[in-house]
Structure 1
């Protein structure tokens, strides 16, 4: 594939046409002559003297060049000034393509690596590639995360959305109506393929139909790459399924762990009705699928890691590992667990009893959230001070060079060191900011949890129960051992420890347990209704563990 990079600043050189269309046309000509597919990278109103971090399309080009799935074999720019106007940018870019044996073309022909400067470049490429290219790849992600925190969106947006003039997400009216139609048809009992066929029969355009060029992908089960014209891409059942499952249509969008403002297209009631209809398999004829499984989206097999979902066999409803559904896959051998026992245990243990609030409160108290927030903020300030000092040091070095105190060759290695240190610190800064956001959200979680639990009643509806469970519990891992069911619960609270439990096979006695299986204690809500014989057994188990 040929990557065509086009850039234009506010001014044009006298007597020279540097328009984006001209640059693009020259690149397309080269693509045709080399018989290559192409992808465009366009920076408009961007100076070549700006830092790489301020050139979005150039950033994307570097990211694609260093990606493990990179399919780019050749890069084209009208001339070298389109790509770089500083030694640092030149070194970074040329190192990235040299290491990966990527050809570089200008309008004058293929780039010549034999000039004197490139002879010097060859001697330092191995070192600078580590310091610049790989760090640049990480920094690209860091800059995009910073943009995400400001609400700015990047990449191809979900169907039904577009960018506004401030690069924020907005609703695309025509596509949004089609999204609503997909949800409506699903509620009427239409399956993925039936909706797909209907849309294709009506010649409804897909998102890709708006773009030119080709899409290259690796077909499953094949070693080679396959290409298709974007104008020929039609709807398929995967598109429909992804739309019906995407919570972005509720106004919930996350990018790199950052929550972004996003207008909703579908209301929560409609989304959940579709979700439960699909998850419970109502479209499968001949099956009793009216039962709604509370934990279907959370349970995981503790032996093989596959989903642990609800199912009915005869008159018995249970959760079981989905490995039994695949004929060509070895069954992991995990046992079944009664639906009512597992769902009642989770709901009554954590929500109805308000035990989850106590656990979260204790977690925040023991982890010193306020102190941790203060510590992270001080760490962020320390990194920022270090970066300011490094930038000041870099400026002084350049000034001394301009005054003739040092030769340019004397400070080149020092500038590389400073730039690498700044990049390294920027990565640390991004991580620290993400960590700070997680801790700040933890305090909000406690307030939300208190409010949510206060509204719980005995006759609370299924939809609300499932929303609460999925809001605060991330995963439930289940293993059936010869002695017990072992249950591990992971929460959606930053750095909160997992909870470990053991439950007897007859579901009448459950224990809290540590990570190593020690310190077993009967759960109060469950043991309160046990018969004397069971209570005696519980006491004996406790004494055995203590001994």
Structure 2
């Protein structure tokens, strides 16, 4: 039995928060998602019943840099603030928030309502000075990691740009040749469709009329 987990906390639901930053990560990094869902098993091992475990996974594919679009994070914060949560389970601090403001706001609410925070490394009571300090450091590291990731991505783009190798998605009708030059799409059907768009727009003066024309032609 974990000494930090009381009967009062086990009488309230355990929230398992699952998040990946992008839909591409959801598709290609399935191991991480599976590990997050596996926290449900950890909640069972720590004494919560099957019916008292709630999975929050509506934020899959949403960045943790802010709260915009994170419906389940807002639900989590609201329920914690009302003292309705016994423990918050997350794989690591960065799953919950990569913003120090959001992270510390959640920790303050957890401390006030005696809600535990549990990750892969252990169980923490935000109301305890030492645990609160450690959780604060975890949040700071999560935000710093986001800064380093952005810096590396920007550095890579700048390096490619300096060598003339930086590419951006091209509009329909154009592509890159073997030498990296922008050229018209070699597919005659594609070129014809693009030319038709501009010709019809010149004739009608209306984008909606162009769409209607394409719909009639089933293009």
Name the TM-score class by shorter chain: 0.3 to 0.5
TM-score by length of 1: 0.20
With CA pairs under 8 Å and 6+ residues apart, which has the higher RCO, 1 or 2?
Answer: 2
| Higher fraction of strand | 1
Kindly name which structure, 1 or 2, has the bigger radius of gyration based on alpha carbons: 1
